[in-house]
Every structure is written in C-alpha cells, then in structure tokens.
C-alpha cells in the first residue's frame, strides 16, 4: 500500500484523538483529492476506517471517564438510522461522482463556518461566507459550456 495513505492515517488518527473531529471531515477529502479515490469508495473506506478509530478512541475515553453515555445513546438514536439511510440513498440514487463530491464539499464548508462562528471568530466566518457567495454568483451568472 502507498506509504502516503499510512501517513494520512497517522495524521488523521492523531487529530481524531486530540480533537474528536470526525475522520470524514479529514480523511474523505484526502482520499478523494490527493490519492484520487472515487468519492463513493472514499466515503465507504472512511466509514470502515472510522469504525476502527472511533472504537479505539471511544474505549480509551470511556476508561478515562470522559464519556457521557446518556448523550452517546441519544446521538446513536439519530445517527445510526441516519447513516443507514445515507448509505441506502447513495445506492438507490446512483449519483454522479461530481454530485457526491459536491455534497462532501458542502458538508465540510458548513461545518467549517459553524466552527468559525462558534469559536468567536465571526468576522472571519463572515468574510468566508461573502467570498463563497461572490464565487457562487460569478459561476451562476456566466454561461455554461
């Protein structure tokens, strides 16, 4: 296997352990943009990878007493059916690769903006939103080839 993939796994694993940030926001884009993996395969690969890293990290946090099992249970009530529905829709809709890649990009951008706003850096978040809106308006105003 490519040593770059191992390096990505190490880096993302460290960030997951330090921050709790989901690997999907890190690993999926790396697999797609750097390695060139098909977006649908990158999502599936990341989910399998995430199952291992989340299990190990979650177990360590559980042993340290830093897990709220009540909140975890309620999160699971929403996320388990949501994940199953997402996989089902991905299979049924047979989306074009560019649509899947766009969905990943929108999800990452949305989370990034929310984190910026919540971190108190509202001015930076506002600037990013305005730049994104300008870019979107310039691409929608121009004729398509």
The three-state (H, E, C) secondary structure of 78-97, written as one string = HHHHHHHHHHHHHHHHCCCH
Alpha carbon distance 111, 93 (integer Å): 24
Q: Is 65 helix (H, G, I), strand (E, B) or coil?
A: coil
**Block residue for tokens 């790396």:** 30
pLDDT tens per residue, range 79-100: 888 888 888 888 888 877 778 7
At residue 105, φ and ψ (nearest 5 deg) are -65, -45
Residue-level pLDDT at 144: 43
What is the rounded distance in angstroms from the CA atom of residue 116 to the CA atom of residue 103?
A: 20
Q: What percent of the chain has pLDDT over 90?
A: 3
Read off the pTM: 0.58
Domain extents in the chain: 1-94, 95-145
């Amino acid at each position: 296997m490519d040593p770059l993939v191992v390096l990505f796994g190490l880096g993302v694993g460290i960030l997951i352990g330090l921050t709790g940030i989901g690997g999907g926001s890190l690993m999926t884009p790396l697999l797609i943009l750097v390695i060139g993996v098909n977006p649908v395969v990158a999502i599936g690969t990341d989910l399998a990878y995430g199952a291992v890293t989340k299990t190990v990290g979650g177990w360590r946090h559980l042993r340290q007493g830093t897990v709220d099992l009540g909140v975890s249970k309620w999160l699971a009530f929403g996320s388990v059916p949501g994940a199953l529905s997402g996989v089902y829709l991905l299979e049924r809709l047979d989306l074009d690769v560019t649509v899947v890649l766009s969905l990943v990009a929108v999800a990452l951008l949305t989370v990034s903006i929310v984190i910026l706003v919540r971190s108190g850096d509202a001015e930076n978040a506002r600037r990013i939103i305005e730049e994104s809106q300008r870019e979107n308006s310039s691409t929608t105003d121009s004729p398509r080839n």
